[in-house]
Amino acid sequence: MVLRTGIDLIEVARIEEVIARHGKHYLERIYTPAELEQCGRRVESLAGRFAAKEATVKALGCGSGVVTWKVIVILFDDRNAPSLTLYGAAKEKAVELGLSAWSVSISHSQSHTVAMVVAIG
Residues with catalytic roles: 58, 108
Roughly what angle, to the nearest 10 degrees, separates helices 43-60 and 88-97?
A: 40
The 3-state DSSP class for residue 24 equals: helix
- Beta-sheet pairing, 3-11 with 112-120: antiparallel
Distance CA 72, CA 84 (A): 7
Q: What are the angstrom distances between the C-alpha of 16 and each of 35, 44, 89, 117? A: 16, 9, 28, 23
Distance CA 41, CA 73 (A): 17
